[in-house]
Chain A
Amino acid sequence: SYVLTQSPAVSVAPGKTARIPCGGDNIGDKTVHWYQQKPGQAPVAVIYYDTDRPSGIPERFSGSNSGDTATLTISRVEAGDEADYYCQVWDSDRGHLVFGGGTKMTVL
């Protein structure tokens, strides 16, 4: 089955830039979505289609996807960005939806 690999945790100081990678075999050929989940809440999409921000998501959130790695970048990190972040693709070869294991971002 197709596997998405995320680092378990990342820490970043307020005002700095966080980069959260999501690794997968030729993931650049797939469409990647990113979700933010805060404690006790349902996930919310922060990036669609590799790079698009849904309505209401700050411009500080951006995405890229090439080769074997997709990356969620959060600029000028704020305390309110502290959450778990998940990448997701549809594996059309197998007809399966796949989530990465998630990255817990801590704002120092």
Chain B
Amino acid sequence: EVQLVQSGAEVKKPGESLKISCKGSGHNLINSWIGWVRQMPGKGLEWMGIIYLGDSDTRYSPSFLGQLTISADKSISAAYLQWSSLRASDSAMYYCAAIQGDLVDGFHIWGQGTLVTVSS
């Protein structure tokens, strides 16, 4: 059974950098897209961006372009979400999810989420 395992909760100060991870297990995800989804407290799902593990082709939501970086390491079926300078407004739950096929396909697998808290 394929699973996506995300890194643990983080508490950071404004201005600090952060990189969270999402690793696939139980199946080779090299032909999959891994997307990142933000959920702020009490709010809905927001698509941030998506990366193809096979060649690191990356697409960003216009709302998040320039605010963060999505990367991948296909050798370990992992995707990453990185901030260079966090803000309090980045406090949220972040989910990764996999599309095993074309981008019109839905997210077949979700990670458990990584809670990021940014506070001085």
Instruction: For A99, list chain B residues within 8 Å (CB).
Output: 37, 44-47
Count class of interface residues, chain B: 20 to 34
Interface string of A29-73 (1 = CB under 8 A from B): 011010101000011110011000010000000000000000000
Q: Which residue of A lies closest to B110 (CB)?
A: A42
Pick from B45, B61, B104, B113: contact of A86, CB below 8 A.
B45
Whether B108 lies near A97 (C-beta < 8 A) is no
Q: List 25 A-B contacts (CB under 8 A).
A: A31-B104, A31-B106, A42-B95, A42-B110, A43-B45, A43-B97, A43-B110, A44-B110, A45-B108, A48-B108, A54-B108, A84-B44, A86-B45, A88-B45, A88-B106, A88-B107, A90-B103, A92-B104, A96-B47, A96-B59, A96-B61, A98-B47, A99-B44, A99-B45, A99-B47
Task: Name B's A-contacting residues (CB within 8 A).
Answer: 35, 37, 44-47, 50, 59, 61-62, 95, 97, 103-108, 110-113
Top 7 A-B residue pairs of the complex, sorted by shortest distance between their CB atoms = A33-B106, A102-B44, A42-B110, A97-B47, A99-B45, A90-B104, A90-B103
